[in-house]
Amino acid sequence: MAMADITVMGAGIFGLSIAWYCQSKGALVRVIDPGGPGAGASGGIVGALAPHVPENWNDKKAFQFDSLMMAEGFWREVEAVSGIDAGYARLGRLQPLADDRAITLAQARATTATELWQGQAQWSVVEAQAYPWAPITPTGLLIHDTLSARVHPRRACASLAAGIVARAGEVLREGPQQGRVIWATGVAGLDELTAQHNRQVGNGVKGQGALLQFEAHDLAQLFADGVHIVPHGDGTVAIGSTSERDYDSATQTDEQLDRVIEKAMQAVPLLHGARIIERWAGLRPRSKSRAPMLGAHPVHKGAYIANGGFKIGFGMAPKVGQVMADLVLDGVDAIPAGFRPEASY
């Protein structure tokens, strides 16, 4: 490849999505990650692309909504170039309603969703008996939203990486930085900022998840008792996850995951007896502001940063890729104020 216009440091979902959009604007792109695509938190197993609740609207919720609406076109284009199925499907989500207060709140949100989601998705209260694949609900009612989607994290990263290479980009484990540099290095990048500023800028939050052998490939994802239950198209169901600030090992699973699995099986008795085929643990990058950190890099002069995709990285990725490519290549700054690096200081 000729001299790269853009070097992206980090081949997680943010780095790969930014590289893809930079290519779409005509840039020659190099992505460098010693671990390869999806080596960090982006190599997890859950893949729930779930919206914030439709109320108290703000820039973060609007940004995420736009990104979720972009997702199908984004992933279909990536898959067409790479030939690798990213596992994307917008199949919605079901959540139990525990009592009358929860029902009233859910009905109010159904009204606001009509406006805030611009008629492109629905949030509604439905009878559980109409959904054989559903969590146990004390009221017999569920929330059904049609905005939630799923993606297979590892396949999605592999699809993006292959697509970048197919469009004459590079995805390397090592190599020189060329052109403009974008740092999308996850927890390591947040640790660097914290060390440079002698105060907490962000941190890694451990998550644990499990993968079950269970066929539910065309069914909605579920969210019950704080647990995501996400059917994938390969005959598996992912369950997750914990959020641990304190831990002894970043990559070992333990009894906390056992409790998550038990919660899932209590909520969805159909899962009892399903074989656990993988247990996963890893660190997810969370900025101090809890929002993505996008813009000029606070330490590397002339460079850019894209970090802090804690829990919502895959859902935010299409829009993050777009706005970062616009900023770096065209100088067009559409980044919300709350996403700027200084918001985490």
User: Residues 147, 117: contact at Cβ < 8 Å?
Assistant: yes
User: Residues 292, 15: contact at Cβ < 8 Å?
Assistant: no
Is 32 among the domain residues? yes
Domain that holds residue 20: 6-91+149-201+288-344
Spatial distance between the Cα atoms of 326 and 324, rounded to a whole number of angstroms: 5
Number of domains within the chain: 1
Spatial distance between the Cα atoms of 117 and 125, rounded to a whole number of angstroms: 16
Q: What is the CATH number of the domain that holds 170?
A: 3.50.50.60
Tell me the CA end-to-end span of the chain in Å, nearest whole number. 39
User: Residue 233: which of 73, 47, 76, 105 has the closest Cα?
Assistant: 47
H helix or E strand, kind and range, residue 15: helix 13-24
Geometric angle at alpha carbon 68, from 19 and 81, rounded to 5°: 40
Distances from the Cα of 49 to the Cα of 71, 84, 256, 311, 314, angstroms: 9, 19, 23, 9, 7
Is 70 among the domain residues? yes
Is 277 among the domain residues? no
Other C-beta atoms closer than 10 Å to the C-beta of 166 total 14
Which residues, listed in sequence order, are joined to residue 285 by a DSSP beta bridge?
204
Is 169 among the domain residues? yes
Is 333 among the domain residues? yes
Per-residue pLDDT of the chain (345 residues; tens, 9 = 90+): 779 999 999 999 999 999 999 999 999 999 999 999 999 999 999 999 999 999 999 999 999 999 999 999 999 999 999 999 999 999 999 999 999 999 999 999 999 999 999 999 999 999 999 999 999 999 999 999 999 999 999 999 999 999 999 999 999 999 999 999 999 999 999 999 999 988 899 999 999 999 999 999 899 999 999 999 999 999 999 999 999 999 999 999 999 999 999 999 999 999 999 999 999 999 999 999 999 999 999 999 999 999 999 999 999 999 999 999 999 999 999 999 999 998 877
pTM for the full predicted model:
0.97
